[in-house]
Amino acid sequence: MDKFDVVVVGGGHAGVEAAYAVYRSGLSCALVTFEKSKIGQMSCNPAIGGLGKSHIVREIDAMGGIMPIATDMSGIQYRTLNTRKGDAVQALRVQCDRDLYKKAIQKILNSTSINIFEEEVEDLIVEQKSVKGVLTKNKKIYGKKTILTTGTFLNGLMYIGSEVSSGGRVGDDSAIPLSKKLYDLKLPMGRLKTGTPARVKMSTLDLSVMEEQPGETPTPFMSLAGEVKQHQDQLSCFITRTNKTTHQIISDNTHLSAMYSGNISGIGPRYCPSIEDKVFKFGHKESHQIFIEPEGIGVDLVYPNGISTSLPKKVQEDFIHTIKGMEQCEITEFGYAVEYDFVDPRTNKKTLETKYFNDFYLAGQINGTTGYEEAAAQGLVAGLNAAQAIQKKPDFILQREEAYIGVLIDDLTTHGITEPYRMFTSRAEHRLLLSQNNAEQRLLSKAFKLGIIPEERNTTFVNKEKQYAEFVKTRLDKTKILSFINKEQQTVSLDEKRSISSILARPDVDENNLIELNKEEEIFFKRASTEIKYKGYIEKQTREINKNKKQNNKKIPPSINYKKISGLSNEVVEKLTKSQPETIGSASQIEGVTPAAINLILISIKKQELEKLNA
Amino acid sequence: MSVVFALATPPAKSAICIFRVTGRGCLSKIPELAGSPLEKNKKFYLRTIKNKSGDIVDRVGIISFKGPDSYTGEDSFEVYAHGGLGVMAMLVDVFKSLGFDEAPPGEFTKRAFLNNKISLAEAEAVVDLIDSHDQGGVVLSSNTLSGDFTEKVLGFSDTINNLRVRVEGEIDFSDEGESFFDSSLPNELSLLVENFKLFVGGCLNKKNHSAKNKVMFVGPVNSGKSSVFNRLLGFERALVSEKPGTTRDLVESEIFYNEASFSISDTAGLRETDDVVESKGMQFALEQLNSVDLVVGVFDSDEGSILDRFAELSNEKKYLKVYNKTDLGHVVREGVFDCMVSAKTGEGFDGLKKLISNAFKSDISGDYMYLVRDRHIGLFQSSINHLENALLKLSEDAGLELIAEDLKLARSDLNEIMGVKMSDSLLGDIFSSFCIGK
Ligand SMILES: Cc1cc2nc3c(=O)[nH]c(=O)nc-3n(C[C@H](O)[C@H](O)[C@H](O)COP(=O)(O)OP(=O)(O)OC[C@H]3O[C@@H](n4cnc5c(N)ncnc54)[C@H](O)[C@@H]3O)c2cc1C
Ligand SMILES: Nc1nc2c(ncn2[C@@H]2O[C@H](COP(=O)(O)OP(=O)(O)OP(=O)(O)O)[C@@H](O)[C@H]2O)c(=O)[nH]1
Ligand SMILES: [Mg+2]
């Protein structure tokens, strides 16, 4: 019999991060997954980061996670998005070598004490509303906590035109018995779908007619932990476009698409539309952009990002061959749609432990999200909280104003989802506080207190913060100048000497010409400049946060019966009953819950408290 | 919520008085209150109310409104009783003996709001309606109430949303090859700011409006100010004598005319004086001038220099010149005065009253469309500030995330005015307006 502190089911991005967090918390962990060799597999496009997502990855990085390191071990093209906008909304996107990424993850895991089992989990050991471990064909694996991270595999069905096959990912099985078990446990389940494009041989493309998009130089790092010193060789991506002929073929055949034939009941993400969706819904657009992303170094394969589809193979072939530079290309694998089970994430507390079964956590795509980063973040949260609970330590919950991870978990657990959930910066109402570049300032000392990052890294961080404070004091506050160069490259003279910091606050200044800096100082300078520009907004946000903090943190007793609160509309009662928000703050986030309704809830809690006192 | 009651009519002797009762379970108390239940909802029944000791209090009419089809959304009923003060006092005792509480001011409207019967803006308008001072105010309030105001504010929210969709789209989906953002955006933003300002300019601030219409009488000593004042009041409020300098303090009272109320004050006559008490009174009167809405000069001569001096005093204020003592038959120049009266005979007073009330009517004519509260004005102002800031940041080519922030704040100020959280379907709007996704 095998016994562990934590059993993690699934070796995807959520599972890996969860197991690694448990390991770093000093506990024993079992990782049970279909195939060892596919641990850390990127099911879809081979890229990490992007808007809202790199923010998450940097947060994982500040807490010592695995994803950012594996990204740098396999990154083949780095690009910062939104460079013309401010710091809070800039994002790093890294194209990875699919194979190297997976190998990096496996290498890191192999250096830990995590026990990997190559088995299909078919059942859960449930005793009195508590999950005690998992059952595979041949094994019982016990865990004080069990974390399910089965991704798109639960009763996964893949569609190409009218062909349907079982599987969570091409070349993989589907987890059918486990899905059945979750239905048996009466967890609130639903179906979602997503899709992926065909893969094409790079050597059969005419890249010379496409626009080349090289990576950024100097090549940045996703992880700021300093563990990866050397990048892989860097490659370019290419851009091509669909055209009228492409669209004609697609619209002539839309009815043959699995998504349009009515076979799929699951809801797909609106921000990840298939090419047939794009052509159908935005008929006026004559052309759509396609990114040709290399799958890896020395790999004769590309991922044509932008033409995800579930059209029949023949149609896929036809329309792809109309695209500039792809006329002669050879398709190695066809695009498909996958439909899978998910569990309504409102089932979970903010620790990602389910409300209905103790010691049972859900993380990753099973909670209705999509994307590697979103999955990894949940894995980290579930893993840490399982470890904290075992050690009888407090829950680890990040607030919405502290991290994108806080936004993600709160959104999922209080609002639930209506389509596969992906992070966007606009989901974070405190966006200006949450830059990908200040994740360490926000989270590193928290992680250090949890004991999940090495002492050395914390020391480096603390020293750097000291240096920064010193830099601001001596170089920016004390250095005074009499003139500066404005954005029009004219010299502006001042009537008296002013500090660099006060000049940085001016909208017309061209920062690049302000002072001579060495490399290290440049990062500090940029940071200071952002802090100065955001200052007013951030002060306002902070005031707002503090104002609402007390009320927002007020706990709603689980015994609350919304039906009994007179004055709440049926719609509001239904929504609140379904999501069972843990705090007033979460309740007020729910759509349709008015300030008046919040008052009523507060009054009713108050009344309950008074009644208890009097009893 | 507990059962509360309130007197819905003024607490004064009148033909009839109405009590309203609301709260869960109040209908089940009707048999105890009035002997038997009311068979039908929303039907008027005659019943006798007795007090605890069995004495008849009054023969009354009762009508019940089952929730949620009532003003508050809860079970409610109304009692129509005879309007004597004694009956009212006894009814209050009866209600209290049934365990009903006296409702604090605004409680009924508050409950209506909490039960989603009316929006916050509308709830406030009802309160305005109740303590509105004149007909004009009532008209304005019901404009707010009708939802017209709500619609206007929602319109501005929508426009802000449209701008946000593009700005947020440009931030979150900049690598999608869509153009969210073009040169029309600053123009649209400044158009919005203009329209919004016009709208806010058309909102009459409730505080200014429902402050009593203040009228102050000024004039040279002994011109008959106190006499005119008394005549308007209809009783002797201020001292009158032939001795110049009789009035030394400000004397205030209230008059009602044409469903409007005015606060009028009589002042010490102005002259060069060495009497300390009187000069103090005059000084005080001069200070008060700033807070009044209408200055009425009372004169008993048409001497140009005197008239000029008072015209100067009242400088920016609305100013009426009244000639008193027409009964004496002195000849005055044509067109110098707005109105000719005699406090002694009452001649010309109808005209004077009309002039006074007209002086206020013009305040709330056409230009002012909505009656809003301080809270609204503050939030509108803040919303406009954010929009203007966004415009400024756009022109400075500052980070788009800051413009987005200002737009978001401008929008949330409007949310607060409506007292509801308008569903934020921003992402959905982006997806339906632009082709996004790889
Ligand atoms: C076809 C397809 C298209 C996609 N398209 C996009 C996209 O366009 N954009 C985007 O952002 N994301 C996309 N994704 C999603 C992205 O791949 C996932 O969000 C992410 O991988 C989820 O991580 P996860 O850890 O939750 O699950 P996964 O990475 O799916 O990992 C699940 C793991 O659990 C294991 N497992 C499952 N069941 C069992 C069991 N019973 N016993 C043992 N092991 C089990 C599996 O072997 C696998 O290792 C797509 C995924 C697929 C499959
Ligand atoms: N004939 C006549 N006498 C009047 C009239 N109005 C006032 N008087 C007389 O004028 C004198 C002064 O009247 P007041 O009302 O005290 O005048 P006032 O302007 O208040 O005087 P001060 O308070 O002293 O400044 C009194 O003797 C009144 O009786 C009027 O219309 N006709
Ligand atoms: Mg007088």
The CATH number of residue A214's host domain is: 2.40.30.260
> In terms of Cα–Cα distance, which of A81, A387, A588 is closest to B401?
A81
- Min Cα separation A20/chain B (Å): 30
Does A399 lie in the same domain as A363?
yes
What span, in angstroms and rounded, lies between the C-alpha atoms of B92 and A415? 48
Burial class (CB in 10 A: 0-12, 13-18, 19+), A171: exposed
pTM score > 0.80 for this model? Answer: no
> How many distinct structural domains can be found in chain A?
4
Does A304 lie in the same domain as A172?
no
Does A150 lie in the same domain as A8?
yes
What span, in angstroms and rounded, lies between the C-alpha atoms of B100 and B98? 6
Q: Which residue has the higher pLDDT, A163 or B127?
A: A163
Does A571 lie in the same domain as A512?
no
> What mean pLDDT comes out for the span B426-432?
65
Identify whether the C-beta of residue B247 lies closer than 8 Å to the C-beta of residue B269: yes
- Mark yes or no for CB contact A51/B400 under 8 Å: no
Q: Is A567 on the interface with B (CB under 8 A)?
A: yes
Does A41 lie in the same domain as A16?
yes
pLDDT at A48: 97
Start-to-end C-alpha separation, chain A? 50
What span, in angstroms and rounded, lies between the C-alpha atoms of A610 and B222? 67
Q: Which residue has the higher pLDDT, B387 or A615?
A: B387
All structural domains of chain B with their residue ranges: 4-135, 142-204+371-433, 214-359
Query: What's the token pair of residue B350?
Result: 């109808």
Q: Is B24 on the interface with A (CB under 8 A)?
A: yes
Which parts of chain A register pLDDT below 70? Answer: 1, 547-548, 550, 566-567, 594-596, 599, 603, 606-611, 613-615
How many angstroms separate the alpha carbon of residue A482 from the centre of ligand 2?
Answer: 73
- Mark yes or no for CB contact A273/B405 under 8 Å: no
How many angstroms separate the alpha carbon of residue A23 from the centre of ligand 1?
Answer: 22
> In terms of Cα–Cα distance, which of B196, B115, B263 is closest to A600?
B115
What confidence tier does B138 reach under pLDDT thresholds 50, 70, 90?
very low
- Mark yes or no for CB contact A82/B171 under 8 Å: yes
**Which of A193-202, A375-384, B140-149, B389-398 is modeled with the greatest confidence?**
A375-384
pLDDT at B115: 73
- Quick one: which ligand is closest to A181's CA? 1
A190, A593, B26, B68 from A574: Cα distances, Å: 18, 11, 27, 18
Does A65 lie in the same domain as A17?
yes
pLDDT at A112: 97
Say which CATH class B142-204+371-433 falls into.
Answer: mainly alpha
Top residue of A414, A594, A606, A607 to mutate, by most chain B CBs within 10 Å, is A594
Question: Could you read off the pLDDT of B27-84 as tens digits, one per residue?
Answer: 999 999 998 999 999 999 999 898 888 888 888 999 999 988 888 889 999 999 887 6
**End residue of a domain, out of A395, A428, A448:** A448
Domain extent for A535: 455-548
Does A215 lie in the same domain as A184?
no
Q: In testing the pocket of ligand 1, which one of A102, A370, A423 has its CB within 8 Å of the most ligand atoms?
A: A370
Identify whether the C-beta of residue B116 lies closer than 8 Å to the C-beta of residue B45: no
A5, A8, A384, A555 from A394: Cα distances, Å: 17, 21, 10, 16
Task: For residue B348, count other CB atoms closer than 10 A to its CB.
Answer: 19
Does A272 lie in the same domain as A159?
no
Q: Is the pLDDT of residue B145 over 50?
A: no
- Mark yes or no for CB contact A45/B438 under 8 Å: yes
- Which atom in ligand 1 lies closest to the alpha carbon of residue A175? 41
- Which atom in ligand 2 lies closest to the alpha carbon of residue B246? 24
Q: In testing the pocket of ligand 2, which one of B237, B240, B310 has its CB within 8 Å of the most ligand atoms?
A: B240
Q: At what angle do helices A313-320 and A244-253 cross, to 10 degrees?
A: 170
Q: Is A141 helix (H, G, I), strand (E, B) or coil?
A: strand
Residues of A in contact with B110 (CB under 8 A): none
What is the enclosing helix (H) or strand (E) of A125? strand A121-127
DSSP state, residue A354: B
Buried b (16+ CB within 10 A) or exposed e, B275-305: eeebbebbeebeebbeebbbbbbbbbebeee
What confidence tier does B278 reach under pLDDT thresholds 50, 70, 90?
low
Does A296 lie in the same domain as A381?
no
Identify whether the C-beta of residue B418 lies closer than 8 Å to the C-beta of residue B379: no
Q: Is the pLDDT of residue B358 over 90?
A: no
- Mark yes or no for CB contact B428/A425 under 8 Å: no
Q: Is A545 on the interface with B (CB under 8 A)?
A: no
Residues of A in contact with B421 (CB under 8 A): 588, 591-595
Q: Is A233 on the interface with B (CB under 8 A)?
A: no
Classify domain B4-135 at the CATH topology level: Gyrase A; domain 2 (3.30.1360)
- Say what the ipTM of the complex is: 0.85
Q: What CATH number should be reported for the domain holding residue A436? A: 3.50.50.60
Q: Of chain B residues 403-422, which have a CB less than 8 A from chain A?
A: 404-405, 408-409, 419-421
> In terms of Cα–Cα distance, which of B22, B256, B7 is closest to B130?
B7
Does A223 lie in the same domain as A85?
no
Sign of CA dihedral A503, A507, A509, A514: positive
Classify domain B214-359 at the CATH topology level: Rossmann fold (3.40.50)
What confidence tier does B258 reach under pLDDT thresholds 50, 70, 90?
low
Top residue of A427, A566, A599 to mutate, by most chain B CBs within 10 Å, is A566
- Min Cα separation B365/chain A (Å): 34
> What mean pLDDT comes out for the span B373-398?
85
Question: Could you read off the pLDDT of B305-323 as tens digits, one per residue?
Answer: 888 878 777 767 788 899 9
How many angstroms separate the alpha carbon of residue B251 from the centre of ligand 2?
Answer: 15
Q: Which residue has the higher pLDDT, B9 or A335?
A: A335
Question: Could you read off the pLDDT of B97-125 as tens digits, one per residue?
Answer: 898 987 765 677 767 766 767 665 565 55
pLDDT at A506: 86
Tell me phi and psi for residue B66, to 5 degrees: -75, 135
- Mark yes or no for CB contact A426/B171 under 8 Å: yes
- Mark yes or no for CB contact B176/A305 under 8 Å: no
Residues of B in contact with A429 (CB under 8 A): 408
Q: What CATH number should be reported for the domain holding residue A571? A: 1.10.150.570
Does A498 lie in the same domain as A569?
no
Does A325 lie in the same domain as A236?
yes
- Mark yes or no for CB contact A426/B428 under 8 Å: no
pLDDT at A319: 96
> In terms of Cα–Cα distance, which of A611, A599, A585, A561 is closest to B111?
A599
> In terms of Cα–Cα distance, which of A225, A196, A201 is closest to A67?
A225
What confidence tier does B129 reach under pLDDT thresholds 50, 70, 90?
very low
Q: Which residues pair with A303 in a beta bridge?
A: A293
Q: In testing the pocket of ligand 2, which one of B227, B232, B277, B337 has its CB within 8 Å of the most ligand atoms?
A: B227
